[in-house]
A and B are shown apart, each in its own frame.
Chain A
Amino acid sequence: MKISQGTIAAAFAGLAIVAAIGTAASGRASATPEECIKIAHIGSEDKPVGSLRLCLGERGKSKADRILANEWSFEFDAATFGGLKGFVSTHGERTTGHSGTIKFGTFLVTWGTKSQEKSALVGDSSACQYLGELMKLVPKRDYVQFFDVLENLTKRLQCASSRGVTN
């Protein structure tokens, strides 16, 4: 489907969709205390898939921001958060020339500081793999809730049944 300019909606409040994707660091990245990574589902859905907010902070701390919408916040120690930041900054779609439709399993990932926020799309075909890789970067023993939420997220995306990728 071609996108009509006239039908563009003010969709998904709070999601600042940025087209210009900056360069990314590789490997483990440094993080400042106020930094957070937002992974928000923005694709079509029947039931809310959910969103994650990953921040530098207290190891293992978690909070359900909106339990009904499956929106969660997690805090990580510096080393773990650096690994996550390194991953998100090197993965995802950054080519602004892409056209066409992106549907059900699409996430918008944003990171960086407010003044230098960067973003990338995680498309429908790669979302399951992406979430699985995130789980590999986090020690389960310290982040049980994180694993539980991500496993639920992958199930909501039907990763196991139809996409064949789970962690």
Chain B
Amino acid sequence: MILAQQQAAKERVSTGNPRRCASSRPGRRCCRSENARLGLATNFRQVAPRPKRWKCAEGIREMPWFTVKTWWGDQTQQGGGAGSSGQDRSPFPFSSRPSSSSGSVYVTNDNGDIVGRVDVLAYKGYANSGVEIRLGYQSAEQVSTDLNWFQTVDANGRQFVDADSGSPNGYYMRPDTAARVEGLNGYNTQFYDTPHRVDYGYVGGNLQTAPTPNVQWSAETSLVMAGRSDPLVTFSWGFSTNAAGALSIQPLVVTSPSPYHLGAIP
């Protein structure tokens, strides 16, 4: 299954539909040609070695080198820019770590050129009954106005698009929220979610909480550009609880989107 997804991802990267260049809008620039395609980041393992310099022309700020932390192996890169520590060389998946995890994923186009970077700002348990995730995307092209996220969820077998109310086409954030988030903490856009299942009750007169047992909650979350059906990158993540309510956090991985997820993207 996983191999099939990976193969599908490779095929998608190599044969994806041509995309309209972001620079076709006023005030935008585009790396490479006007028809440069933005592929899935499932090929970012190839990017893990020292990334190329941005190929964009003037005015594009080069991102600093930083530590690349992946969940399938030690590919730590030492860099010279701000924020590079090189300390975390854990070979384990995010979910294997006991507390908050962080890391970065380069988003590349089909030519392997980096078009942006997703930082995993938080991925950890939430209220002992779910998970908190926060992602930040920094574009190399300084394109941001039509960035959004798209998320589908499978919660104990029930599939649905997890969108904010009033969000056109089922995008995760409403336009006004997306606008507020733009530029926050230096990111073109951010994603934040805290799915959880918790029960409450009174014990000895005190209101207390407990995680809901037997929960299976998983999500596919894509970074998308409005009006384009192929995501820049897709993550899968989630959590589960057992019969006793014990929480397990699903690995946060870059994935090839499922047919359901891909088909739901407007």
Q: Please state if A68 and B162 are interface contacts (CB–CB under 8 Å).
A: no
> Which residues of the partner chain A approach B190 to less than 8 Å between Cβ atoms?
68
Q: Please state if B181 and A68 are interface contacts (CB–CB under 8 Å).
A: yes
Q: Please state if A96 and B202 are interface contacts (CB–CB under 8 Å).
A: yes
Q: Please state if B200 and A101 are interface contacts (CB–CB under 8 Å).
A: yes
> Which residues of the partner chain A approach B192 to less than 8 Å between Cβ atoms?
48, 68-69
Cα separation A20 to B181 with both chains bound (whole Å): 39
Which of A11-19, A30-38, A84-92, A136-144 is found at the contact surface with chain B? A11-19
The residues in A between 120 and 167 inclusive whose CB is less than 8 angstroms from any CB of B are: 121, 152, 155-156
Cα separation A156 to B201 with both chains bound (whole Å): 23
A45 within 8 A of partner (CB):
yes
- Which of under 10, 10 to 19, 20 to 34, or 35 or more describes the interface residues of B? 35 or more
> Which residues of the partner chain B approach A155 to less than 8 Å between Cβ atoms?
165-166
Chain B residue nearest to A100 in the complex (CB): B201
Within 8 Å by CB of A3, from B165, B195, B203, lies B203
> Which residues of the partner chain B approach A67 to less than 8 Å between Cβ atoms?
177, 180-181, 184
> Which residues of the partner chain B approach A43 to less than 8 Å between Cβ atoms?
198, 200
Within 8 Å by CB of A99, from B153, B198, B201, lies B201
Q: Please state if A9 and B206 are interface contacts (CB–CB under 8 Å).
A: no
Q: Please state if A11 and B194 are interface contacts (CB–CB under 8 Å).
A: no
Q: Please state if B212 and A44 are interface contacts (CB–CB under 8 Å).
A: yes
How many A-B pairs have beta carbons closer than 8 Å: the answer is: 124
B50 to chain A, nearest CB (A): 32
A116 within 8 A of partner (CB):
no
Interface string of B119-161 (1 = CB under 8 A from A): 0000000011110001000000000000000000101000000
Cα separation A45 to B223 with both chains bound (whole Å): 22
A64 within 8 A of partner (CB):
yes
> Which residues of the partner chain B approach A99 to less than 8 Å between Cβ atoms?
201-202
Interface string of A71-95 (1 = CB under 8 A from B): 0000000000000000000000000
**Extra A-B contacts (18), CB below 8 Å, given A7-B244, A17-B207, A96-B206:** A1-B213, A3-B209, A9-B210, A9-B211, A11-B127, A11-B128, A19-B202, A42-B209, A44-B198, A45-B196, A46-B193, A48-B192, A67-B181, A98-B201, A101-B199, A101-B200, A103-B199, A156-B165
